[in-house]
């Protein structure tokens, strides 16, 4: 008897969950994020679903493509918190036409129904790190892409990574592109991390 009740409970949870999850994905698909992240955002979704991180951080939110994908996974996990750090002012690394993105980010998070899981932090990574105390389970670094910028962010936040924490960087393969962008220093920094023995 108990196993039948458990089975029905499980089915009911699944049944209730499906239409809401489908609606959130529909909203996600309808948003034009004006970002270069593309389908790589689903990698963040998959990692979050798989690792079930309690604390996630992203550096560089813009209009929220990465934040909505991580938030959607957290919503489906029914656990976890994302701290989405971005000053939402003009930097060298805004997506074209996207400078003051705060209102749009908040709107998009609400539209996908994930705002409960995401703390919008309107600051630079450096400002936010000063008072940071939580161990980080998953960090996505997509802010200042210059060599000095990404190295600064990597070094600042790696000291907060939990023992099995995972760090993900965006724009790591620009040296493979025909029109290589020399202003992007992420490949060089990652190469240094690999040489230093980081997995």
Ligand X SMILES: C[S@@+](CC[C@H](N)C(=O)[O-])C[C@H]1O[C@@H](n2cnc3c(N)ncnc32)[C@H](O)[C@@H]1O
Which residues bind to ligand X, rule: CB under 6 A? 33, 35, 37, 59-63, 65-66, 85-87, 91, 93-95, 101, 124-125, 142-144
Q: Cβ of residue 87: shortest distance to ligand X, in angstroms? A: 6
Instruction: Identify which of residues 80 and 186 has a Cβ nearer to ligand X in the complex.
Output: 186
Using Cβ positions, the residue closest to ligand X within the complex turns out to be: 60
Instruction: Identify which of residues 63 and 74 has a Cβ nearer to ligand X in the complex.
Output: 63
Instruction: Identify which of residues 54 and 168 has a Cβ nearer to ligand X in the complex.
Output: 168
Question: What is the C-alpha separation between 183 and 174, in angstroms, rounded?
Answer: 10
Question: What is the C-alpha separation between 192 and 185, in angstroms, rounded?
Answer: 11
Report whether 150 contacts 144 (CB < 8 A).
Answer: yes
Q: List strand residue ranges (DSSP E) for 81-133, in order.
A: 81-85, 118-121
Instruction: Identify which of residues 115 and 142 has a Cβ nearer to ligand X in the complex.
Output: 142
Q: List strand residue ranges (DSSP E) for 26-103, in order.
A: 55-59, 81-85
Q: Cβ of residue 170: shortest distance to ligand X, in angstroms? A: 7
Question: What is the C-alpha separation between 58 and 124, in angstroms, rounded?
Answer: 11
Structure tokens at 95: 């997506």
Q: Cβ of residue 114: shortest distance to ligand X, in angstroms? A: 13
Q: Cβ of residue 56: shortest distance to ligand X, in angstroms? A: 13
């Amino acid at each position: 008897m108990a196993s039948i009740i458990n089975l029905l409970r499980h089915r009911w949870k699944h049944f209730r969950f499906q239409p809401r999850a489908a609606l959130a994905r529909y909203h996600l698909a309808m948003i034009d994020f004006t970002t270069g992240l593309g389908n790589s955002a689903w990698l963040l979704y998959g990692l979050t679903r798989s690792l079930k991180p309690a604390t996630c951080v992203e550096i560089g939110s813009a209009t929220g493509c990465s934040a909505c994908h991580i938030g959607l996974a957290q919503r489906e996990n029914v656990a976890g918190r994302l701290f989405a750090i971005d000053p939402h002012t003009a930097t060298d690394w805004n997506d074209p036409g996207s400078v003051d993105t705060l209102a749009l980010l908040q709107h998009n998070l609400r539209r996908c129904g994930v705002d409960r899981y995401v703390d919008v932090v309107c600051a630079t990574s450096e400002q936010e790190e000063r008072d940071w105390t939580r161990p980080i389970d998953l960090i996505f670094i997509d802010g200042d892409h210059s060599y000095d910028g990404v190295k600064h962010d990597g070094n600042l936040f790696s000291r907060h990574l939990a023992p099995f924490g995972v760090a993900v960087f965006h724009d790591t393969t620009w040296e493979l592109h025909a029109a290589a962008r020399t202003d992007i220093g992420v490949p060089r920094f990652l190469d240094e991390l690999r040489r230093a023995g980081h997995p």
